[in-house]
Amino acid sequence: MPTQSSPDLSVAAICERALDGARPSAPELETLLSVSSEEEAEPVFAAARELRKRHFGAAIFLSGFVYYTTYCRNHCNFCLYRKGNDAAPRYRKSLDEILTLCRGLTGEGINLIDLTSGEDPLTHDTGDYQSYYDMIAAVRRETGKPIMISPGVVPADVLVKMQQAGATIFACYQETHTRDLYKKLRVQQDFDERCAARANARRAGMLVEDGILTGVGDTVADRVNSILEMSGNDWELARSMTFVPQEGTPLAGLPIQSPLHELLVTAALRLMKPGWMTTASLDCESLAGLKARLDAGASVVTSIIYPETGFCGVANAELDVDEGLRTVPAVLGVLAGMGLRQGSDEEYAAWIDGSRVARAVPVA
């Protein structure tokens, strides 16, 4: 029989404690992430949905995706847009093209605009980020929406200027917090430098998103480690995504994994920090995989792309984009069928303000 020093490590008991406000420990996370079937996982998902309901009600927020340059100087083994990959679609969008897309997304009613790029040599190698500051300011001025910026690793002073230009959130995904695995994924990129970028963004006044990939040779222990690292840093947003093998990359031959590991991480993140914004990305399975990700407790739908504009996704560059299945109306149909609704801009702004207050250092 479990004692005070040896708690019940059954899935049901762990979920019950989480619903009572206890963050799962490392052994408890290992139990949750070791679940091997959707049937066994349902209590985990149910607990995650209940905690999301307590914090957000039926509200789900929508994030428009703007991949404004697909050129990159890095050699990430998992990424379609790695340097030298001739299979990758390449473009650098003009400010007018970016604003046209953002107006379309805003017209559909998204809550957040996610401006994402590779580490484009035109900026990262030259150190001239003025076009990025101008873009952030113009998008903010034109749309009035909160902006997430995901430019890769940039210097601390650049992050300050991005925040001053109007960026609210900085996204920089580690993909794994296990150093040996990281070396196999983000080739020749310093682990600690990437971590420091997130810390610098917080000091600059932005909220922060981290994230991991599943299905890249990671183990349960690796995923537990990542959850503990992300929750320990107390970031405001967290992402889990299933790896999709990419043409022309060293990991192209990896088998496609079940999304179960991703879904369990998403649910565990909710149990660790109920007020987190966790993602249901359309980039892996498009609309077909959305319900499962929302059922796992996600609170924001990402990778919404306005069709027929020539912009790409990441894990699936073109999947269902021009077919109009990664749009706000398509997502709203799924939400309605699940008894959920799109959160308002006012609710999202309240979450941003609350997150800022929660992390503020009290004045002595």
Confidence of residue 363 (pLDDT cuts 50, 70, 90): very low
What is the reported pLDDT for 308? 81
Any domain includes 363: no
| CA angle, 269 then 271 then 272, to 5° | 65
Q: What is the pLDDT of residue 314?
A: 85
Residue 5: what pLDDT? 63
| Dihedral over Cα of 245, 246, 247, 250: its sign | negative
- For residue 5, tell me if it sits in a domain: no
**Do the beta carbons of residue 130 and residue 87 sit within 8 Å?**
no
Mean pLDDT over residues 220-238, rounded?
Answer: 97
Asked if residue 7 is part of any domain, the answer here is no
Buried (b) or exposed (e) across 189-221, using 16+ Cβ within 10 A? Answer: beeeebbebbebbbebebbbbbbbbbbbebebe
In a domain, 257, yes or no: yes
Look at residue 2 and tell me if it is in a domain. Answer: no
Domain count, the chain: 1
What's the whole-number average pLDDT of the chain?
A: 94
Q: Cα separation of 206 and 39, whole Å?
A: 39
Nearest 10 degrees: Cα torsion 303, 306, 310, 311: -20
Residue holding tokens 């997130």? Answer: 198
CATH of the domain at 219: 3.20.20.70
Q: Identify whether 13 is part of a domain.
A: no
Query: Could you give the CA distance from residue 30 to residue 120 in angstroms, rounded to a whole number?
Result: 38
pLDDT in tens, 106-130: 999 999 999 999 999 999 999 999 9
* 81-90, 214-223, 234-243, 303-312: the lowest-pLDDT one: 303-312
State the pLDDT at residue 47: 98
User: How does pLDDT run across 80-107, given as a tens digit for each residue?
Assistant: 999 999 999 999 999 999 999 999 999 9
With 0-12 / 13-18 / 19 or more C-beta atoms within 10 angstroms meaning exposed / middle / buried, residue 254 is middle
**Is the confidence at residue 302, as pLDDT, over 50?**
yes
Q: What is the reported pTM?
A: 0.95
DSSP 240-299: EEE----TTSTTTTSPPPPTHHHHHHHHHHHHH-TT-EEEEESTTTGGGGHHHHHHTT--
Strands 147-150 and 169-171: parallel
What would the pLDDT profile of 45-91 be if each residue is shown by its tens digit?
999 999 999 999 999 999 999 999 999 999 999 999 999 999 999 99
The residues that bridge with 148 in the sheet, in sequence order, are 114, 169
**Residue 3 confidence (pLDDT):** 53
* pLDDT tier for residue 361 given thresholds of 50, 70 and 90: very low
CB 8 within 8 A of CB 25: no
Per DSSP, helices labelled H in 80-167 are 95-108, 121-124, 130-143, 156-165
Write the DSSP string, 120-140: -HHHHTTT--HHHHHHHHHHH
Is residue 169 in some structural domain? yes
Give the Cα separation of 55 and 127 in Å (integer): 41
Q: Which of 309 and 10 is assigned the larger pLDDT?
A: 10
Name the residue range of residue 293's domain: 19-357
Question: Does 317 fall in a domain?
Answer: yes
**Where does residue 77 rank: exposed (0-12), middle (13-18), buried (19+ CB within 10 A)?**
middle
CB 204 within 8 A of CB 248: no
Main-chain phi, psi angles of 243, to 5 degrees: -65, 135
